[in-house]
Copies of this chain bind each other. A is one copy, B any other.
Amino acid sequence: MPRIVLIGAGSVVFTKNLLGDILSSPALRSADIALHDIDPDRLATAERIARWTATALDATPMISTHLDRREALRGADFVVNTIQVGGARATQVDFDVPARFGLRYTIADTVGVGGVFRGLRTIPVVLGIARDMEEICPDAFLLNYTNPLAILVRAVSEATAIRVVGLCHSVFWTVDRLAEYLGLQRDEVDAASAGVNHHAFILSLEHRGRDLYPDLRAFVDAGRTPDDDLVRAQLFQRLGFYPTESSEHHAEYNPWYIGKSDAAGDAVERFHVPIGEYLDRVAHNLDEYAETKRMLEAGEPFEIERSGEYAATIAEAMTTGAPARIVVNAMNGGALIPNLEADACVEVPGLVDGLGVHPVAMGPLPLHLAAYIRGAVDMQGLTVRAALDRDRDAIGHAVMTDPIVQSHLTLDDAWRLTEAMIGAEAEWLPSWLGGAAAG
């Protein structure tokens, strides 16, 4: 039975869902589950939800909890990373400091100023995990869910020998949404996607061999898109391929919405761009954690549904040898998507078999889609360079790639913003940046 280690297990809802998937699998129902968190209260809650889930599913895992990370890693086959460095407070800074320069964001966890600094504060911690793995469980797979995902996979791949893949459900839920738009059953819809995480596009969309794009175009052109997906719908109209992730994310991935207006009015209003959305989610997560604790104490039941997280799919396929198809983030090598950088971390379909995860070579992206994506890839590369080479200038160069910064700031202000962020996030930044954290 494989040993599956959850780093950041205190994200209890994710832990519940992931264990729901794992323990529903006949091949994994007796798996060895090791939970790690640095917060004892959250770790205790994670253990309770884990044991509740096992009982509810009639599964017989071995469950252990560890405040010591290295102890958790001992004998690991799979290490699932879901940590958040800096938590709610750091996220608040990611929004507040840019706001002083007049910049508004929706999510701020992937690219842009927020993505750069989430990267800078998270890279050293994740490298610490990977280096522990090199010592303790060098053959284990690191399955990373933490954002900024592409940056972290790239940093681990470049700086350590640990096998790592980045996992994200954004493609899964995009296809789900499109099936819903067209009134189709999700599992009858086949989709192929390629790009980088949160910046991929659906390249093919079929229902039993029939191309669905004409129907989808008719749906969008008829104005039937829900308000919360208008940004992606417009990008689809102009680019010809549907973007993955979500409209709230894409609103800050390009220069076309935030701070823009035309004869039809202000784009933020018209496209229902939810400025500050991620701050609401952070608050909601805290509430949800409190509610989960309350329910556990009250002995109230939870709902368990297979969530389709790929960590369970990978563990199952590698254990049984039965092939599975996932979406995976892995180093490009110039091979998976030849017209993106060789050292980019790209998102493509992947085959899982008994030997591991094998990303699929997808060929070049249509040129205009590549053009939409390149800024994100450069931002990722420059953030990794900054962190690994301790290159302060590269932070400014990464901030220069932010389309919101580009649309609204001068070059001097972009630099002032960079320095202001370094100061405001010192608590979580490494010492070479004058920060108080390790690394």
Report A's interface with B, CB cutoff 8 A: 77, 187-188, 190-192, 204, 206, 208-209, 234-235, 238-240, 255-257, 260-264, 267, 318, 321, 323-325, 333-336, 338-339, 341-342, 349-351, 353-355, 358-363, 367-368, 370-371, 374-375, 378, 381-382, 385, 393-394, 396-397, 400-401, 403, 406-407, 409-415
Contacts and interface: CB of A to CB of B under 8 A. Distances in A.
A116 B400 CA distance: 24
A412 B323 contact: no
Contacts of A401: 371
B338 A333 contact: yes
Nearest to A359: B361
Contacts of A263: 413
19 contacts: A187-B321, A206-B355, A208-B354, A234-B411, A238-B397, A264-B410, A323-B325, A334-B338, A335-B361, A350-B351, A351-B351, A351-B360, A359-B361, A367-B378, A367-B385, A368-B400, A371-B374, A403-B406, A406-B406
Given A206-B354, A371-B397, 9 more contacts: A192-B353, A323-B325, A333-B338, A333-B361, A338-B342, A351-B358, A370-B378, A371-B400, A374-B378
A371 B375 contact: yes
Contacts of A191: 355
A192 B355 contact: yes
Counting every copy of the chain, the complex holds: 4
B367 A381 contact: yes
A204 B355 contact: yes
A232 to B, nearest CB: 12
Contacts of A238: 396-397, 400, 411, 415
Residue in A321, A333, A363, A385 with the greatest tally of chain B CB atoms within 10 Å: A321
A53 to B, nearest CB: 26
Contacts of A362: 358
A410 B349 CA distance: 33
Residue in A204, A264, A397 with the greatest tally of chain B CB atoms within 10 Å: A397
B190 A355 contact: yes
Contact of A335 (B187, B240, B335, B409): B335
A331 to B, nearest CB: 10
Nearest to A260: B410
A360 B363 contact: no
